Structure 1
């Protein structure tokens, strides 16, 4: 379901950094937010594939 496991791990590391660390440097925060925004297509594609998988098997998606 994932195009790249490496991209997924990168997204997870970014998520952990943004959630568990208080970023004081505005430039670093802006960079992290831009990186997060760049990950949106990866997350949307994954969610669509999971939903399609569930739908094909008659599983609830909501």
Structure 2
């Protein structure tokens, strides 16, 4: 993943995109999108892992 400072710098470039070249804005978007894809893939992996964990059967108040 990218460093927090890189992400913040990319955000600033996009926020002030009128003052930056198209190449700089494209690079900033690329940085943010790469990080987004990495995080999204990690979230999906964690969700898949969590789905494999057996859930305990909770007793109901009517079970004996």
TM value normalised by structure 1: 0.54
RMSD over equivalenced CA pairs, Å: 2.3
Please list the CA deviations of residues 10-43 of structure 1 after superposition, one character each: whole Å capped at 9, or x if unmatched.
Answer: 111112213xxxx4xxxx55x2x22011224312
Query: Which structure is richer in relative contact order (CA contacts within 8 A, separation 6 or more)?
Result: 1
Moved over 4 A (4+): none
Q: Give the aligned length.
A: 48
Corresponding position of 1:4: 3
Please, which runs of 5 or more residues in structure 1 have no aligned partner? none
Cα deviation for residue 5 of structure 1 reads 1.6
Task: Give the whole-Å Cα distance in 2 for the aligned partners of 1:40 and 1:16.
Answer: 11
